[in-house]
Amino acid sequence: ECGEHLDIYQLKIDKAPTMAEMRLKFTESECADTGKLGSISWLIDGINIEDSQDALRVAIRQLPKDASAVQRAALQEKRQKLAAWISKFHEIADNMTEGIEVHAGTEHVDDIRFCTSDAVEEVWEAADIEDVLEEMDEAVPAEVMAIWMP
Q: Kindly provide the b/e burial profile for residues 97-135, where b requires at least 16 CB atoms within 10 angstroms of the residue's own CB.
A: eeeeeeeeeeeeeeeeeeeeeeeeeeeeeeeeeeeeeee
Count CA within 13 A, CB hemisphere, residue 43. 10
User: CA dihedral in degrees (43, 44, 45, 47; nearest 10)?
Assistant: 90
- Longest Cα–Cα distance of the chain, Å, equals 80
Q: Kindly tell me if the per-residue pLDDT of 119 is higher than 50.
A: no
pTM of the predicted protein model: 0.58
Residue 90 maps to a domain: yes
- Domain total of the chain: 1
> Is the separation of the CB atoms in 106 and 149 below 8 Å?
no
Residue 30 maps to a domain: yes
Q: Tell me the pLDDT tens digit for each residue of 44-91.
A: 889 899 999 999 999 999 999 999 999 999 999 999 999 999 999 988
**pLDDT at 68 (0 to 100):** 93
Residue 111 maps to a domain: no
Residue 50 maps to a domain: yes
Residue 37 maps to a domain: yes
| Residue 88 domain boundaries | 17-96+128-150
Residue type, 42: W
Q: Tell me the pLDDT tens digit for each residue of 11-55.
A: 777 788 888 888 888 877 776 665 556 788 888 889 899 999 999
Residue 73 maps to a domain: yes
DSSP three-state, residue 1: coil
Residue 79 maps to a domain: yes
